[in-house]
Amino acid sequence: MDVSPDADYLERYNQSTHAWTKAFRLARGFFITFEGGEGAGKSTQIERLASKMRAKKYDVLLTREPGGSPGAEAVRHVLLSGAAEPFGPKMEALLFAAARSDHVEQVIRPAVERGSIVLCDRFLDSSRVYQGVTGGIDQAFMDRLEQVAINGMMPDMTLIFDLDPAEGLRRATVRRGAEAAADRFEKETLAIHQARRAAFLAIAAAEPERCIVIDAAADPDTVENVVTAAVFAALETRAPARDRQVTPA
């Protein structure tokens, strides 16, 4: 099994964390997560939002889970290849938590503390849904694991991309090519994906101050407009800009 970290991803990681462009920082950082089922368009939309923000001179860090730091990227391969699957959902939940803890401490917290906007493709809600709800793991165990993994680093805002799983899986198949194999979590039954959709919507309903549901069935430009409007409105009210401080070039 190949467990070497994804070279392209690490290259982008290095560029985004170490090669600063001139950008202004916020008085405090802002941490936004993108969540939802397979093929809902999160990755496309997170890249579009990052480009838009960078064009407006915001200091943006784009990252993802599982992964996002060299240590967590190594764990990503173990999880998505299915190598950990035979050891059960608890083992997988612990590995996701280990990867998240490394990602939080090495990448997310330092970026938020220096005033950046952090955009993260999947985070704790994916564990709540995939390992907790559809993995059947005890809620109290998952709650404790989450606290250890995030160590207080709760997202300021979470966008939940909502889409009929049949359509999401169709899109995901087109994206990877019909002949390539689905990953460990994508390959599960439609009923499981439907349960995940319901679980994401339940989180959004329970935490309306953090979560906003995005209708991902619309065309990508429409979704982009909705995402942009929601995020900029939140930034304006909740994260005022510091006096346009320029970061080192």
Which residues of the chain form beta strands (DSSP E)? 24-26, 30-36, 60-64, 117-121, 157-162, 211-215, 241-246
Tell which one of 33, 45, 127, 158 touches ligand TYD (CB under 6 A): 127
Residue from 122, 168, 223, 239 in contact with ligand TYD (CB under 6 A): 122
- How crowded is residue 175: how many other Cβ atoms within 10 Å of its Cβ? 13
Instruction: Establish whether 68 is an annotated binding residue.
Output: no
Sole binder of ligand TYD in the list 32, 59, 65, 112 (CB under 6 A) = 65
Q: Report DSSP state, residue 248.
A: P
Among 13, 31, 130, 161, binds ligand TYD (CB under 6 A): 130
Q: From the CB of 80, what's the least distance to ligand TYD, in Å? A: 6
Half-sphere exposure of 103 (CA within 13 A, CB side): 31
Asked if residue 85 belongs to a known ligand binding site, the reply is no
Contact between 58 and ligand TYD (CB under 6 A)?
A: no
Q: How far is the CB of 40 from ligand TYD (least distance, A)?
A: 8
| Under rule CB under 6 A, residue 186 binds ligand TYD | yes
31 touches ligand TYD by CB under 6 A: no
Q: Rule CB under 6 A: is residue 102 a binding residue for ligand TYD?
A: no
Eight-state DSSP code of residue 22 = S
Which of 80, 8, 41 shows the shortest CA–CA distance to 175? 41
3 state SS of 240:
coil
Stretch that binds ligand TYD, among 81-89, 159-167, 179-187, 215-223 (CB under 6 A): 179-187
Could you give the residue ranges of the DSSP H alpha helices within 6-119?
7-18, 42-55, 70-80, 89-103, 109-113
> How many whole angstroms separate alpha carbon 240 and alpha carbon 163?
32
Residue 66 in the binding site for ligand TYD (CB under 6 A): yes
Binding-site ranges for ligand TYD (CB under 6 A)? 38, 43, 65-66, 80, 96, 121-122, 126-127, 130-131, 183, 185-186
Residues forming the annotated binding site for ATP?
Answer: 36-43
